Amino acid sequence: MKTWIPLIAALLLVACKPAAETAPAEPAAPAADAPASSVPEPIARTHGGAAAPTPAAAGEVDDHTEVNQRIGQLLGDASRYESAILAFQQAVAQKDAATVAAMIDFPFKTTVDGQPAVIRDAPEFIARYGRIVTPEMADVIVRQRYSELFVNGKGVMFGGGEAWLNGICVDDACSSFNVRVVALQPTR
């Protein structure tokens, strides 16, 4: 009986901890009525409209571990996603339309001046860059903390759905993929 007392005490301690201490919260699944297109719904419609993350304080480390584990579980090679995510943020911060265009999966459905649009290729995207990647959208993308990225089967989401990245198969067997920007959309 004495050998069971520590085990019972440990089980009671675990059972009494708040849920946040016992298991990480799972992001809500996308809405069941998600559109058939490859463009993910904004976060406001998929999991409650969480506020945009705040940038890391000076000297604070933005830990990539949990997000990379989730990417690896749901999407594939996390190191490829991490490189693409950081390159995307840097390109947007530098207003480098050509680099962002090189990361887009064309043809590309987006919103230009509040109207749905299909961007057919990189030159068209570059010409319309400032009307697609608005200052508000750029701010959300640049300020996004890696540790607060939302990840599900549709990809990796910035902010409230302003940008999504996902793997695009290179061949029919999907033996290889490229991480691409699959959505840029205003959410406000």
Binning pLDDT at 50, 70 and 90, where does residue 186 land? Answer: confident
Q: What is the pLDDT of residues 81-134, one digit of tens each?
A: 999 999 999 999 999 999 999 999 999 999 998 899 999 999 999 999 999 999
The whole-number pLDDT of residue 43 equals: 31
Q: Over the chain, what is the mean pLDDT?
A: 76
Among all chains, which residue has been given the structure tokens 């069941």? 32
| Residue 161 DSSP symbol | T
Query: Quick check: 70 pLDDT over 70?
Result: yes
Share of the chain above pLDDT 90, in %: 60
* Segment among 30-39, 63-72, 90-99 with least mean pLDDT: 30-39
Query: Quick check: 16 pLDDT over 50?
Result: no
Q: What is the pTM of this model?
A: 0.68
The whole-number pLDDT of residue 40 equals: 38
For the chain, the structural domain boundaries read 31-184
CA distance 132 to 112: 5
Among all chains, which residue has been given the structure tokens 């490189």? 83
Going across the sheet that includes 155-158, the strands are 150-152, 155-158, 163-169, 177-184
Question: Residue 160 corresponds to which tokens in the numbers above?
Answer: 């409230």
Concatenate the DSSP letters of all residues of 80-135 into one string. HHHHHHHHHHHHHHTT-HHHHHHTB-SSEEEEETTEEEEE-SHHHHHHTHHHHS-H
Q: At what angle do helices 78-93 and 135-143 cross, to 10 degrees?
A: 140
Tell which residue, 176, 169, 147, has the closest CA to residue 85. Answer: 147
